[in-house]
Amino acid sequence: MVRANLAAGHRRLGAAAVPLALTVAVAAVALLVPQMKWRELDRQDHGRLTADYLVEATGKGPPGTAARRVGELPGVATAVSALST
């Protein structure tokens, strides 16, 4: 009787602990993943918007034309065209 009760106790504990652990894991993912994504998005936005110089084209033509012309100047490593949406 005692042996059967002890064996059943482990099964009952396992039956209760597994759903509880899965619930905690799913809740942690649901709460932490969006915050990690927002933090990474902010980091990438900051890296993308940091520049030594900003050249604004006000003339006609596609926006990439100014970036190509600036990119061909000596000493320019990278020129990127951006169009606000």
Alpha helices in 1-85 (DSSP H): 2-49, 63-71
Give yes or no for residue 65 having a pLDDT over 80: no
Give yes or no for residue 26 having a pLDDT over 90: yes
- pLDDT for the residue numbered 23: 94
Question: In terms of Cα–Cα distance, which of 50, 82, 46 is closest to 64?
Answer: 82
- pLDDT for the residue numbered 21: 93
Q: pLDDT-based confidence at 25, cuts 50/70/90?
A: very high
Q: Cα–Cα distance between 50 and 61 in angstroms, integer? A: 25
Work out the average pLDDT over 51-72.
74
- pLDDT for the residue numbered 85: 58
